[in-house]
Amino acid sequence: MGKTNGHAQIPDFAKAQEIDAYRQMLLIRRFEEKAGQLYGMGFIGGFCHLYIGQEAVVVGMQMALKQGDQVITGYRDHGHMLACGMEAKGVMAELTGRRDGYSRGKGGSMHMFSVERGFFGGHGIVAGQVPLGTGLAFANKYRGNDNVCLAYFGDGASNQGQIYEAFNMAKLWHLPVIYVIENNKYGMGTSVERASSTTHLHQRGRSFDIPGEEVDGMDVRAVKAAADRAVGLARKGEGPYILEMQTYRYRGHSMSDPAKYRTREEVDKVRNENDPIELVRKRLLEHGYASEDELKKMDGDIRHVVNDAAEFAQANPEPDVSELYTDVTVSA
Amino acid sequence: MPTEILMPALSPTMEEGKLARWLVAEGKMVKPGDVIAEIETDKATMEVEAVDEGVLGRILVPAGTEGVKVNTPIAMILINGEAAGAPAVKAAPAPQSPAPAAPVPHPAPAIIAAHAPEDDLPAGTKMIATTVREALRDAMAEEMRRDPDVFLMGEEVAQYQGAYKISQGLLEEFGARRVIDTPITEYGFTGVGVGAAMAGLRPIVEFMTWNFAMQAIDHIINSAAKTLYMSGGQMHCPIVFRGPNGAAARVAAQHSQDYSSWYAHIPGLKVVAPWTAADAKGLLKSAIRDPNPIVFLENEILYGQSFPVPEGDQVVPIGKAKIVRPGRDVTIVSFSRGMSYAMAAAEEVAKLGIEAEVIDLRTLRPLDMETVLASVKRTNRIVTVDESFPVCSIGSEICARVAMEAFDYLDAPPTKVSGEDVPMPYAANLEKLALPNTAKVVEAVRKVCNR
């Protein structure tokens, strides 16, 4: 059994779950490392916000979902797309602004969608996705199905007023939405303590009587256990739930952030002592679920997928110039 | 001395109402605060309270009388046993209200019908006199019957029956699942509506007025208008944002702005601003069926005005202007309430021998410049009429396009009539000055025609 989560003991993963979680988190990490490289080489333009360090959050949450559930998030979104099952090639080609990217090159890093995979973006206005996600949950209730929506946002967004407007309606109308706060400790360059009058963000739903809990967002098992609780309640019609994921981003806010607001030591400490992928790796070896060689092979396979995606994203042509005026409106 | 009780103005735009019921009989004592009568306006039924103590001496307007003008004496109160003679003191009953609004020019429906055959209606289509208010309600009700994914959300749309009574009866017919009262949180509920549209539902989001939608404009533009493009055509957002736009009457700067050019500026939106009840109904039906986000700009002053509306399931296409009055000497282009001034001005200048062609844009995005340019090429003169601030207005855009695309046809500079470049004043005289009116349009037409 793992460490406590403020609730029950965290159940261990079965072998298949551990391996699956490891593979998915590693894919996100390798993908983001490659995206960082391509950005440095000038293949990716504009803003590019990497998810490195936070992988256990989306991977654990996704394990509680089923067909028809929806996911929506802000601009640090590549990990969410991969966790939803979107193709690495299509995501990377969108990052490079190419025609076979998920948005045909017209959205970029912050604006990708896959209705088929239940991923509703990819939104660039801080907290804008929270009322939108509440609306997706509204549609589930309107249709009378038992699907739920995960609306992700960060500690920085948690001070935006529209979030509390959404909380109010979600509770008032008992909407099946789980608000996942990814508390990575910094809203751009401002620490939670410097931005928030209260820093226990899982308590932000108290005025609306929305239950919330704090979760070790570096432990994928803890995330999955919390997700199961919250999703289960929402599916039963018990309304919204808040999960505050204690997590950490290793890289800057975006590629252009020199990260002078924290020390190298602070980052290294998390990386060395509490890395979400390393924790799973250790358990896989300890339990004998995988050997060093098998893990090495898995890493090689993932690097292969990511390299393929990177090559594709560089070789794929830019959108045809005729695309400038398409998709502004749809024909009635 | 007897005190007159006057017909009260119960809203900023009320001009008349129905004296529904007297609750006190002649000869009975009343005290301040006693409810003495009920008055029905087109928006609501309101109670009239006595403000003086005395005997209800005489009822001047019997129960059931329709069309009682504001400030008409409706009864007399006798104080201290006096007889019901000629009143010396006038007192308005509670609730005390500001002086009634300046009269609104009502275009005569007969003129409209004569000059404006409805769009491609089958022969023999029956026309029914309908207010813009009823037409909007009918459009929503018909579309909600047609498509179970259509629902209405907004402040006071359900139990209160609409702040302006546009959604009257919808809760009763469609229930609370589809007619949804929201908290007063424009930003939040607009985002919820857009999210529901992204999931494939077809929300109608009512703003009590477009002034309040400034709190929600981020979701209208960043979430609704841009997502189709940002997703490479994947994410549709079939949603209608609707409510009254522009100046009402005596509600001052924060409640009296025309947002037409704000939304017409945005790629990804369609923007509709009807004048007649027939267009309000037909265009709202089209808007609800359209797969794009639609900004539907209504006008509070027009809500109570009656126009002939074709019976049945008639839609009006978005994106098509209409020549409401043909003429050869000058083109007047307007939309929404501006059409009232444009049509009245056309009547006026006809007396001077100027035949004005009046075009109702009806849709502001996409703008039907084809119809405007073809008209200007015939008349060689153009005056635009809108109620917005003059800078970067719809009129500005039309004048610029005409100058760029029909320069060689022009015999006079393109001319704008618009609101003044000031926040809307409260004082009645200043408010009047700040808005366009028929005289301003007549003057502009005479100027471009050198008459």
Q: Which of B7, B17, B21, B136 is nearest to B66 (CA)?
A: B17
The domain locations on chain A are 15-316
* Cβ contact, residue pair A327, B228, below 8 Å: yes
* Cβ contact, residue pair A327, B233, below 8 Å: yes
The three-state secondary structure class of A71 is strand
Give me the domains of chain B, ranges plus CATH numbers: 3-91 (2.40.50.100), 125-310 (3.40.50.970), 322-448 (3.40.50.920)
B53 DSSP assignment: -
pLDDT score recorded for residue B117: 47
**B152-188: burial string, b at 16+ Cβ within 10 Å, e else:** bbbbbbbeebbbbbbbbebbeebeeebbbbbeebbbb
The residue that leads in pLDDT, B292 or A332, is: B292
Contact (Cβ atoms closer than 8 angstroms) between residue B342 and residue B438:
no
Residue with tokens 């009343």: B30
Q: How many Cα neighbours within 13 Å face the side chain of A159?
A: 14
Instruction: Tell me, yes or no, if B255 is annotated catalytic.
Output: yes
Q: Of B192, B194, B218, which has the smallest distance from its Cβ to A169's Cβ?
A: B192
pLDDT score recorded for residue B305: 97
> Whole-angstrom Cα distance, residue B133 to residue B307?
11
CATH class, domain A15-316, is alpha beta
- Containing A138, the helix (H) or strand (E) segment is helix A129-143
- Please name the residues in contact with B374: beta carbons below 8 A apart, sequence gap of 6 or more: none
> Whole-angstrom Cα distance, residue B173 to residue B122?
30
The catalytic position among B4, B143, B186, B397 is B186
Q: Of A121, A122, A138, which has the smallest distance from its Cβ to B196's Cβ?
A: A138
> Whole-angstrom Cα distance, residue B390 to residue B271?
19
A317 DSSP assignment: P
pLDDT score recorded for residue A329: 97
Contact (Cβ atoms closer than 8 angstroms) between residue A133 and residue A177:
yes
* Cβ contact, residue pair A166, B190, below 8 Å: no
Residue with tokens 């003991």: A9
From B267, which residue of chain A is nearest by alpha-carbon distance?
A328
C-alpha dihedral sign at B82, B84, B90, B95: positive
pLDDT digits (tens, 9 = 90+) for A258-308: 888 999 999 999 999 999 999 999 999 999 999 999 999 999 999 999 999
> Whole-angstrom Cα distance, residue B280 to residue B124?
21
* Cβ contact, residue pair B196, A136, below 8 Å: yes
Beta bridge partners of B150: B202
> Whole-angstrom Cα distance, residue B296 to residue B362?
10
Across chain A, what does the average pLDDT equal? 95
> Whole-angstrom Cα distance, residue A78 to residue B318?
38
> Whole-angstrom Cα distance, residue A294 to residue A306?
18
pLDDT digits (tens, 9 = 90+) for A23-38: 999 999 999 999 999 9
B101 DSSP assignment: P
pLDDT digits (tens, 9 = 90+) for A280-293: 999 999 999 999 99
Residue-wise pLDDT tens for chain B (451 aa)?
A: 678 888 888 877 888 889 999 999 998 988 888 889 999 887 778 888 888 888 988 899 999 999 999 889 999 888 876 765 554 444 444 444 444 444 444 443 333 443 344 566 878 889 999 999 999 999 999 999 999 999 999 999 999 999 999 999 999 999 999 999 999 999 999 999 999 999 999 999 999 999 999 999 999 999 999 999 999 999 999 999 999 999 999 999 999 999 999 999 999 999 999 999 999 999 999 999 999 999 999 999 999 999 999 999 999 999 999 999 999 999 999 999 999 999 999 999 999 999 999 999 999 999 999 999 999 999 999 999 999 999 999 999 999 999 999 999 999 999 999 999 999 999 999 999 999 999 999 999 999 999 9
Task: Tell me the residue type at A8.
Answer: A
From B233, which residue of chain A is nearest by alpha-carbon distance?
A327
Give the pLDDT band of residue A61 (cuts 50, 70, 90): very high
> Whole-angstrom Cα distance, residue B166 to residue B154?
12
Q: Of A106, A172, A329, which has the smallest distance from its Cβ to B230's Cβ?
A: A106
Q: How many Cα neighbours within 13 Å face the side chain of B43?
A: 18
Instruction: Tell me, yes or no, if B420 is annotated catalytic.
Output: no
* Cβ contact, residue pair B234, A70, below 8 Å: no
